[in-house]
Chain A
Amino acid sequence: MNSTRGGLRLSSFDDLPIQFKASLASALLLVCLLALGAHAYLTSTRSAAGLRVLSSELAPKQQAFSDVGGAVIATHMKIFRYVSWASNGVSEKVLKPLEDEIHAELDASSARITALTRRTDLSGEERSALQDLVAKWESCKAQARDTIDVGRTDAPMATMMIGQTDDSFEAVDADLRKMSQALIAKANALQTQLSSDAERNQQVVVWVTLLGLLISVVVAIVIGRSIVRPIRAITDVMQRLSAGEIKVEMDHGVRSDEIGKMADAIDVFRKNIIDKQRVEQTLAEAIEAITEGFSLYDAEDRLVVCNSHYREMFSYGPDTVTPGMSFERIVSSAVGRVVIDGSGDDRAWLAQRLERHRNPAGPHVQHRSDGRWIRVSERLTAVGGVVATYTDITELKSREAELDAAHAQVTALNETLRSDNQRMEGELDVTRRLQMMLLPTLEELQQVDGLEIACHMQAALEVGGDYYDVLQHQGRIKIGIGDVTGHGLESGVVMLMTQAIVRALLTSGESDHVRFLSVLNAALFGNVQRMGSDKNLTLCLLDYAAGEVRVSGQHEQVIVLRRDGAVEMVDTIDLGFPIGLESEIAAFVGQAKVQLQPGDGVVLYTDGVTEAEDMAREQYGLQRLAAVLKAHWAGSAEAIKQAVIADLKRFIGEQTVYDDITLVVAKQT
């Protein structure tokens, strides 16, 4: 016994399957019954055999012997009577029938004895005894006949012979009696045996029945203990489980019989319940976490599950939405208390809503009287239910309205812009044409004394922000290069104004480089201010006279190339200030001088050249520009310019050109 564990297992006997136990109990009872039956069968068979021997064997045989004995005695008596009558002189007439009778009886007795010997039920002993009897009878019969024969004529002698006849008859009779008695004794013995058998049988039946009863009781107790008690424990566990108690612990896995398996199964069941509760909890939390209203109706249209959003949307007054309620009831209560869609015809709306619910198509939108917009998406589930989400799209709706308004504004603005743009495009085209018109002509360049000049200008947009010019006035040559911030109309206009002011100052004979730049700055600043623009420009001016170049104004570095290809750089950072940015810049203006021998020259450029990018977004750079110039410096200014532009274009490749590109090559002749 393992009672300390308090579990289902009581002993190793419990591990045996119940079926085996039941079979064992049945087998034990069957053994008792079989023993009882077999005993009864054997006993009754023996009794029947004994009775049969008694009734059909011993009794008739004994009767036969007894009959023969009786007949023999009767004949003996008749012989005696015959001799007696003969001795007393009874007449022949009376004796003759008696004599015939005796002879007939002797023959009859012979036949009877012969019949006895022919019986098939004789024992060996009886057979030999009968053989003796036959011999005795034959002599007895002979003596009887002799006696009768003698008696017929000699009665006294017959009387004398009666003695021997008596003996032989007595011998025969004794034998027959002996055999008969033997049979009687046998029958008595058989009867005694049968009665004792019956008595013993009675006792055996009583004892075996008691034993069977005892075994039944013991088996019932043992098997009952090993089956009923654990089943009661399991039943208790199951009742507690069904009552919702899941913290039921069971001493399972110890037994290996059906009850052990049952316990295992219940434990699995218990774990499944826990899992199910966990899953349901998770599902409920997940559904609750949805920001929309969620509901699931079963095939009978009864609410299975919903979240608080849904409940809130459909809980009015005392009626709280609870699982099990029908969709119609929930929606009807909503109709009764809150006007939906404001159509006024509640019944028609309800019918339509129910129809939609039963045959969901796409989502639809409800506009509630409290101002909220709810989008309802319903879908049929595989098992015939309906799952639905209710999304509050009030905010979306208001944003949509805002967007509609904004869109209308944009459309209107767009219309305006489109007409403006058409106008501006025309203006820009004019400006570009004006700008190109104002660039120095080829003839002008060729007329410059002492310098061979080649120029290139390419705008990134229709109107560029780069500026260059070559002016000649009363023997003074002025070369300018600049870069207005930005592109487009404004930049183009600033560049045009710059060109006009530079020509005006040159024409007025202004020779002081500080005043020249200060006036230029002041004039341009004023105009830019009037334009309400923030445009300004870097500008570098070169004055050339008799092999000397004077540089002023802040811009890119000026490249000086000697005839032998040597490269020199002139930094312009300290030579000026951006034009049009401040009202007064005189304090910033400086000047640098470069002496040129024949074959020497200067190269001017904007950052559109040095900052041009290739496909790998590498910048062209000052070094590369200087190297290309040096390599081609032996050629004409035009050839040098073309070599640089070709190299630059090769460098840029398919890359977009972001800035205006301007290059001026001036070589001393």
Chain B
Amino acid sequence: MRAILLLLFVSLSALGFPAGAAEFGTRDEAVAMVKRVQVMFKAAGAEATFKAVSDKSVAEFHDRDLYPFIYDFAGVNVAHGARPALIGKSLISLKDQEGKFLVRDMLEIAKTQGKGWYDYKWPNPLNNKIEDKSSYVEKMGDYWVGVGVYR
């Protein structure tokens, strides 16, 4: 059962990816990754999705500087594609260098609008520098998921 599901998942992901098109992921690619997380969340459930998202070896959710992040509506991170140290941490009060409460604001977008874009600063996993980032977030059951691009 699990094998079948994995297989299906892999085939789906292969269909949707234009692999190695550019150095940084695009906004569309970010939205597409959110959709893939949504698909898996529906198909495999929360636990499996969280595990896959947090596992850097899963290429489907780790593409160059693109990675998904999932939070619940309390602001607690439940899965992170780039920084596993954050899993289980409440980041509702997290601020970027400009003082934006990014988690709280994106949570609000997901909660009220269901989906949307949000700009903030975040360390780039590729060079660990704080860069401008735009993330796309969507509501996903009791959680919300986002994937961002560095500009």
* A553 to B18 alpha-carbon distance, docked (Å): 235
Smallest Cβ-Cβ distance to B100: which chain A residue: A163
Contact A163-B85, Cβ < 8 Å, known A156-B123, A156-B128 = no
Instruction: Give the bracket for the number of chain B residues in contact with chain A.
Output: 10 to 19
* A152 to B130 alpha-carbon distance, docked (Å): 19
* Interface assignment of A185: CB less than 8 Å from any CB of chain B: no
Q: Please determine whether B85 and A157 come into contact, CB atoms closer than 8 angstroms.
A: yes
Q: Mark A122-141, 1 if CB is under 8 A from B, else 0.
A: 00000000000000000100
Q: Please determine whether B90 and A142 come into contact, CB atoms closer than 8 angstroms.
A: yes
Smallest Cβ-Cβ distance to B77: which chain A residue: A146
For B128, the chain A residues whose CB sits under 8 A away are 156
Shortest Cβ distance from residue B125 to the other chain A in the assembled complex, whole angstroms = 9
Interface locus among B6-14, B34-42, B91-99, B143-151: B91-99
Q: Please determine whether A167 and B89 come into contact, CB atoms closer than 8 angstroms.
A: no
Q: Please determine whether B83 and A154 come into contact, CB atoms closer than 8 angstroms.
A: yes
Q: Please determine whether B93 and A168 come into contact, CB atoms closer than 8 angstroms.
A: yes
Q: Please determine whether A167 and B93 come into contact, CB atoms closer than 8 angstroms.
A: yes
Q: Please determine whether A160 and B123 come into contact, CB atoms closer than 8 angstroms.
A: yes
Shortest Cβ distance from residue B23 to the other chain A in the assembled complex, whole angstroms = 20
Shortest Cβ distance from residue A372 to the other chain B in the assembled complex, whole angstroms = 151
Shortest Cβ distance from residue B150 to the other chain A in the assembled complex, whole angstroms = 14
* Interface assignment of B86: CB less than 8 Å from any CB of chain A: yes
For B117, the chain A residues whose CB sits under 8 A away are none
* Interface assignment of A150: CB less than 8 Å from any CB of chain B: yes
* Interface assignment of A507: CB less than 8 Å from any CB of chain B: no
Q: Please determine whether B95 and A167 come into contact, CB atoms closer than 8 angstroms.
A: yes
Shortest Cβ distance from residue B146 to the other chain A in the assembled complex, whole angstroms = 16
Chain A facing B: main interface SS:
helix
* A488 to B50 alpha-carbon distance, docked (Å): 203
For A139, the chain B residues whose CB sits under 8 A away are 90, 93
For B130, the chain A residues whose CB sits under 8 A away are 156, 160
For A195, the chain B residues whose CB sits under 8 A away are none
* Interface assignment of B73: CB less than 8 Å from any CB of chain A: no
Of the candidates B84, B94, B97, B122, the one whose C-beta lies within 8 Å of that of A164 is B94
* Interface assignment of A153: CB less than 8 Å from any CB of chain B: yes
Q: Mark B110-123, 1 if CB is under 8 A from A, else 0.
A: 00000000000011
* A142 to B96 alpha-carbon distance, docked (Å): 19
Q: Please determine whether A150 and B93 come into contact, CB atoms closer than 8 angstroms.
A: no
Shortest Cβ distance from residue A157 to the other chain B in the assembled complex, whole angstroms = 5
Shortest Cβ distance from residue B52 to the other chain A in the assembled complex, whole angstroms = 20
Q: Please determine whether B85 and A154 come into contact, CB atoms closer than 8 angstroms.
A: yes
* Interface assignment of A645: CB less than 8 Å from any CB of chain B: no
Q: Please determine whether B89 and A164 come into contact, CB atoms closer than 8 angstroms.
A: no
Contact A150-B85, Cβ < 8 Å, known A156-B128, A161-B94 = yes
For B89, the chain A residues whose CB sits under 8 A away are 146, 149-150
For A143, the chain B residues whose CB sits under 8 A away are 90, 93
* A506 to B108 alpha-carbon distance, docked (Å): 216
Q: Please determine whether A163 and B95 come into contact, CB atoms closer than 8 angstroms.
A: yes
The residues in A between 134 and 185 inclusive whose CB is less than 8 angstroms from any CB of B are 139, 142-143, 146, 149-150, 152-154, 156-157, 159-161, 163-164, 167-168
Of the candidates A146, A152, A157, A163, the one whose C-beta lies within 8 Å of that of B123 is A157
Shortest Cβ distance from residue B78 to the other chain A in the assembled complex, whole angstroms = 14
Smallest Cβ-Cβ distance to A161: which chain B residue: B94
For B84, the chain A residues whose CB sits under 8 A away are 153
Shortest Cβ distance from residue A172 to the other chain B in the assembled complex, whole angstroms = 13
* A156 to B82 alpha-carbon distance, docked (Å): 12
Contact A164-B85, Cβ < 8 Å, known A156-B123, A156-B128, A157-B123 = no
* A157 to B125 alpha-carbon distance, docked (Å): 10
For B90, the chain A residues whose CB sits under 8 A away are 139, 142-143, 146
For B85, the chain A residues whose CB sits under 8 A away are 149-150, 152-154, 157
Q: Please determine whether A164 and B83 come into contact, CB atoms closer than 8 angstroms.
A: no
Shortest Cβ distance from residue A649 to the other chain B in the assembled complex, whole angstroms = 180
For B122, the chain A residues whose CB sits under 8 A away are 160
Q: Mark A376-417, 1 if CB is under 8 A from B, else 0.
A: 000000000000000000000000000000000000000000
For A156, the chain B residues whose CB sits under 8 A away are 123, 128, 130
For A142, the chain B residues whose CB sits under 8 A away are 90
Of the candidates A149, A152, A164, A167, the one whose C-beta lies within 8 Å of that of B91 is A164
For B95, the chain A residues whose CB sits under 8 A away are 163-164, 167
Of the candidates B86, B93, B97, B99, the one whose C-beta lies within 8 Å of that of A157 is B86
* A159 to B83 alpha-carbon distance, docked (Å): 13
* A143 to B93 alpha-carbon distance, docked (Å): 9
* A389 to B128 alpha-carbon distance, docked (Å): 157
* A149 to B128 alpha-carbon distance, docked (Å): 18
Smallest Cβ-Cβ distance to B95: which chain A residue: A163
The residues in B between 60 and 95 inclusive whose CB is less than 8 angstroms from any CB of A are 83-86, 89-91, 93-95
* A159 to B130 alpha-carbon distance, docked (Å): 10
* A142 to B94 alpha-carbon distance, docked (Å): 13
Shortest Cβ distance from residue B75 to the other chain A in the assembled complex, whole angstroms = 10
Smallest Cβ-Cβ distance to A160: which chain B residue: B123
* A164 to B93 alpha-carbon distance, docked (Å): 5
The residues in B between 1 and 59 inclusive whose CB is less than 8 angstroms from any CB of A are none
Shortest Cβ distance from residue A80 to the other chain B in the assembled complex, whole angstroms = 15
Shortest Cβ distance from residue A175 to the other chain B in the assembled complex, whole angstroms = 16
Contact A157-B96, Cβ < 8 Å, known A142-B90, A143-B90, A149-B89 = no
Q: Mark A454-482, 1 if CB is under 8 A from B, else 0.
A: 00000000000000000000000000000
For A159, the chain B residues whose CB sits under 8 A away are 123
Shortest Cβ distance from residue B94 to the other chain A in the assembled complex, whole angstroms = 5
Of the candidates A152, A153, A154, A160, the one whose C-beta lies within 8 Å of that of B94 is A160
Q: Please determine whether B123 and A161 come into contact, CB atoms closer than 8 angstroms.
A: no
For B96, the chain A residues whose CB sits under 8 A away are 160, 163
- Interface centre among B91, B93, B99, by most A CB within 10 Å? B93
- Interface centre among B84, B86, B122, by most A CB within 10 Å? B86
Shortest Cβ distance from residue A328 to the other chain B in the assembled complex, whole angstroms = 134
For A154, the chain B residues whose CB sits under 8 A away are 83, 85-86
For B99, the chain A residues whose CB sits under 8 A away are 163
Smallest Cβ-Cβ distance to A157: which chain B residue: B83
Smallest Cβ-Cβ distance to B121: which chain A residue: A160
Shortest Cβ distance from residue B33 to the other chain A in the assembled complex, whole angstroms = 20
* A153 to B87 alpha-carbon distance, docked (Å): 12
Shortest Cβ distance from residue A216 to the other chain B in the assembled complex, whole angstroms = 75
Shortest Cβ distance from residue A476 to the other chain B in the assembled complex, whole angstroms = 213
13 more A-B residue pairs beyond the given contacts A152-B85, A163-B99, with a C-beta to C-beta distance below 8 A:
A139-B90, A139-B93, A143-B93, A146-B91, A150-B83, A156-B128, A156-B130, A157-B86, A160-B94, A163-B96, A164-B93, A164-B94, A164-B95
19 cross-chain CB contacts under 8 A: A139-B90, A146-B89, A146-B91, A149-B85, A150-B85, A150-B86, A153-B84, A154-B86, A156-B123, A157-B86, A157-B123, A160-B122, A160-B123, A160-B130, A161-B91, A163-B94, A163-B95, A164-B94, A167-B93
